[in-house]
Copies of this chain bind each other. A is one copy, B any other.
Amino acid sequence: MEAHYSSAPELCVSEWVNTEQPITLQSLRGKVVVVEVFQMLCPGCVSHGLPQAAQVADTFPREHVVVLGLHSVFEHHAVQGTREALRAFLHEYRFRFPVAIDAPSGRGLPQTMTAYHMQGTPTMLLIDRKGRLRAQLFGQMPDMSLGAQIAQLVHEDGNTSEHSGLTRACEETSNDCNQGSCTLK
């Protein structure tokens, strides 16, 4: 008998940086997905969370593990909320993995952050090959332990034949959710 894990809610995204095509969790079934949730003005994200995510991308082969960033702004919206500021930040720090901007909700917390009941940033989401949320880690975690957790997800049975209904958490006001990802115009 196996533990029961919930399907990871789809990301609610207003814009993407470092990728030409929008990306959905749905489209990544069959791979392990690591999502680093951050704010560019969050010191722990800049010094620890994002470099660790970059190291995950360097350590595991891309056909097994995909690393995404999620810029979930819940404070100082005016100065870190823009795509231009985020692009400059990612460029200067040389973070090259795709980064989504968490769709604002008009109520402070952005939509994906709300859907996952996150406590703050940095938060790391580990999603298995069946699209299930296996770990949600707030704060810092040792590299060795993280490497071990991701490797476990890589090496376990990843048969994706079973149906795991897609969770829809993005707001109706999102006007382009028909591909699983909610893109605000």
Give the B-binding residues of A (Cβ under 8 A): 41-43, 46-47, 52, 55-56, 59-60, 76, 78-80, 82, 84-85, 88-89, 92-93, 142-152, 154-156
Contacts and interface: CB of A to CB of B under 8 A. Distances in A.
12 contacts: A41-B89, A43-B93, A46-B46, A55-B142, A76-B88, A79-B88, A85-B85, A144-B146, A148-B150, A149-B151, A151-B155, A152-B154
Contacts of A154: 148, 152
B79 A85 contact: yes
Contacts of A56: 144
Q: Which of A52, A76, A84, A154 is most buried by chain B, counting CB atoms within 10 A of its CB? A: A76
Given A146-B147, A155-B155, 6 more contacts: A41-B89, A43-B93, A80-B85, A144-B144, A147-B151, A152-B155
